[in-house]
Amino acid sequence: MWRRGVFVAALALLGGCATLPNGRSWGEDATLAPGWERVAQSAARAACDPWVWAPLALAGIVQIDDWDREIADWAREETPIFGSNAHAEQWSDDFRTASGIAYHVTTLATPSGTTATEWLLNKARGYAVGLAATATTRFVTTELKEAADRIRPNGADGESFPSGHTSTSAAYSPRATSIRSRSRLRHDARSTSGSTRS
């Protein structure tokens, strides 16, 4: 049990701290009404991102000839990764928790202004957008579960697909990763400019 706690804590501490590559503070540009131009840009970036389309393509391929159900049945019976269904459920919960912790720690650690008021305002904006993204993800997941009505591998109910754990982690992880990678870009840019001045 303590190893799981250490694992979750280690994931949470992987977040980086810095400003965004454009020099602006985290949350400074956040808005709940981004406009259609920003929405279109985000959709285009997502469509070109292999982390978005590759899993979709793989999911489509696995639908061929009912392979997805065969794989799920095999994994449930053999439990090749976690050793038991109970351990798999616990690790699933832990990964979802770790994603949330990583997002919140990274968000709080990233600079968001030079004054307390500016910091609070930018954090509030960023968190409002994050909350909206998470709420939208949960709503869409629930609606898709009802539409798909897919029986869980253990036969418990018809809410197997899409996975609530996966969608929640997906809502948190890219935002935390984005904050960390932007932080690294900014740090690298500062390091490079500092080394060329010497």
What is the predicted pLDDT for the residue at 158? 77
CB atoms within 10 A of CB 8: 19
Domain boundaries, the chain: 84-198
pTM for the model stands at 0.61
Write out pLDDT tens, residues 169-183.
777 765 554 554 544
Q: Report the b/e string of 99-122 with b at 16+ CB within 10 A.
A: bbbbbbbbbebbebbeeeeebebb
| Percent share of the chain, pLDDT over 70 | 74
Burial class (CB in 10 A: 0-12, 13-18, 19+), 27: buried
Render pLDDT for 36-51 as a digit per residue (tens, 0 to 9).
888 888 889 888 988 8
What number of other Cβ atoms are within 10 A of residue 197's Cβ?
6
3: tokens are 């190893």
